[in-house]
């Protein structure tokens, strides 16, 4: 039996800043030990415990897609003790990773269906992993139509700008970008995500919706999706609760009889309705 809390060492290969304010960065990491890299199998939507020795560890969604060989990407916002320490790192520094944890997006259940991805602000990381996974040539034909609706406060806050551009050019998906308030030179839509979602009204026939964003956006998007005909068990949410151990032992992310880190973070709206309103 190995110590479940022992992280594996990874080296920071690249650090990409995601917004002008530079408080959100994407870290590209490679495991020091190729053996570990080989059997670090993960699905989109899973997270890992990223640790900076001396500061602690925190659960971060894996932003890269499982199809990307050889590296892992984490998008981290500078907000707490560990994230501040990570933001002070430079390329070549060594940090700890343990995981992958959580159930991730239910890829098997989504196969052969239309996919609607609704993301808001900084919580687009695991949705991007899902989108990249679906758009990969080996997987694309297993899924039908893909719609991505992604909004942020202003253009600077939109994450993964190169991906968004690439997706804009592709024909086999429909990308709708929006920002909250009008900004000069912005060609995309303007308005909050729920309103834009209602406007673009993706068809709910044989479709699954994956949504992740700030609580206020989710609060207003769920009714829109139900109105569009999405049944409660076809709306998938990735919850953001305070987690610590990541393996369902420390009790922090306990809602009702479920642990968000073990039984989630992806839940269907149906499951959430049965759980106590504490998320």
Partner 1 sequence: MKAKIMDKNELQDFVDELTKDYKVFAPVKMNRIFRLKEISKGKEACLGYQNTRQPPKEIFFPQTEILFTYKMDKEGVELEDIPLPNEKRVLFGIRPCDARALVFLDRFFSSGDYKDISYLEKREKTTIIGLACNSPLSTCFCTSLGGSPFGKEGMDLLLEDINEKYLIEILSEQGAKLVEHIPWLKDAENADFERAKKISEEAESTIKLKIAVEGLRKKFDSMFDAPLWDQIYQKCIGCGVCTYLCPTCWCFDILDEGTPTCGRRVRIWDTCQFPLFTLEASGLNPRPSGKERMRQRVMHKFNYFPKDFGELVCVGCGRCVQACPVNLDIREIIKAIMNT
Partner 2 sequence: MRNIENIEDSIREVARKLLNEKKVELVIGYEKGTLPLRTAPCFIDNPDDVDKLAWNASCDANLSKYLIGVDKRIGIIAKGCDARSIIVCITEKQIDREKVVIIGIPCAGVVDRKKIEAEVDGEEILEARVTGEKIMVKGKNFEKTLPKKNFLCDSCLTCRHRNPPICDIMVGNKVPEITSAEGFAEVSYLEAKSADDRWAYFTKELGNCIRCYACRNVCPLCYCKECFVDKTLPLWFGKTNDLSDTMIYHIVRVLHVAGRCVDCGACSRVCPMEIDLRALTKKTEKIVKERFNYEAGISLKEVPPLGTFKLEDAQEFVIE
Tokens for 240? 């953001």
Backbone phi, psi, residue 12, to 5°: -80, 115
Residue 5 in contact with partner 2, rule: CB under 8 A: no
Site residue total, partner 2 (CB under 8 A): 3
DSSP state of 62: B
Residue 84 in contact with partner 2, rule: CB under 8 A: yes
Q: 11: which residues sit within 8 A by CB, 6+ positions away? A: 29, 30, 31, 32, 92, 93, 94
Residue 81 in contact with partner 2, rule: CB under 8 A: yes
Q: Whole-angstrom Cα distance, residue 160 to residue 129?
A: 11
Tokens for 189? 């839509």
Residue 68 contacts residue 136 (beta carbons within 8 Å): no
Binds partner 1 (CB under 8 A): choice among 53, 181, 227, 273: 53
Q: What angle do CA 92, 131, 254 make, to 5 degrees?
A: 80
Residue 128 in contact with partner 1, rule: CB under 8 A: no
Choices 40-48, 65-73, 198-206, 247-255 (CB under 8 A): range interacting with partner 1: 247-255
Q: Whole-angstrom Cα distance, residue 102 to residue 258?
A: 12
Binds partner 1 (CB under 8 A): choice among 43, 128, 240, 269: 240
Binds partner 1 (CB under 8 A): choice among 67, 198, 248, 271: 248
Binds partner 2 (CB under 8 A): choice among 4, 70, 80, 223: 80
Residues that bind partner 2 (CB under 8 A): 80-81, 84
Residues that bind partner 1 (CB under 8 A): 1-7, 9, 32, 51-58, 79-80, 83, 85, 94, 96, 214-215, 240-242, 244-245, 247-252, 254-257, 262, 276-279
């Amino acid at each position: 039996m190995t110590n479940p809390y022992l992280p594996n060492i990874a080296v920071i290969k690249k650090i990409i800043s995601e917004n002008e304010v530079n408080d959100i960065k994407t870290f590209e990491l490679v495991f020091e030990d190729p053996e570990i890299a080989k059997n670090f199998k993960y699905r989109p939507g899973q997270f890992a415990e990223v640790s900076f020795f001396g500061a602690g560890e925190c659960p971060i969604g894996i932003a890269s897609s499982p199809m990307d060989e050889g590296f892992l990407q984490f998008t981290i916002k500078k907000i707490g003790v560990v994230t501040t320490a990570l933001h002070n790192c430079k390329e070549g520094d060594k940090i700890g990773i343990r995981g992958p944890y959580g159930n991730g997006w239910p890829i098997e259940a989504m196969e052969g269906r239309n996919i609607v991805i609704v993301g808001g602000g900084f919580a687009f990381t695991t949705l991007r992993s899902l989108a990249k996974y679906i758009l990969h040539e080996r997987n694309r034909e297993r899924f039908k139509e893909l719609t991505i609706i992604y909004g942020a406060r202003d253009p600077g806050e939109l994450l993964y700008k190169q991906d968004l551009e690439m997706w804009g050019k592709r024909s086999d998906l429909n990308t709708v970008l929006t920002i909250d308030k009008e900004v000069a030179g912005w060609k995309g839509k303007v308005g909050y995500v729920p309103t834009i979602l209602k406007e673009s009204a993706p068809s709910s026939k044989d479709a699954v919706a994956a949504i992740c964003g700030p609580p206020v956006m989710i609060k207003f998007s769920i009714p829109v999706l139900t109105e569009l005909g999405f049944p409660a068990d076809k709306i998938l949410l990735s919850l953001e609760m305070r987690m610590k151990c990541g393996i369902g032992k420390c009790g922090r992310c306990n809602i009702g009889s479920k642990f968000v880190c073990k039984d989630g973070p992806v839940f269907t709206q149906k499951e959430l309705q049965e759980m106590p309103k504490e998320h």
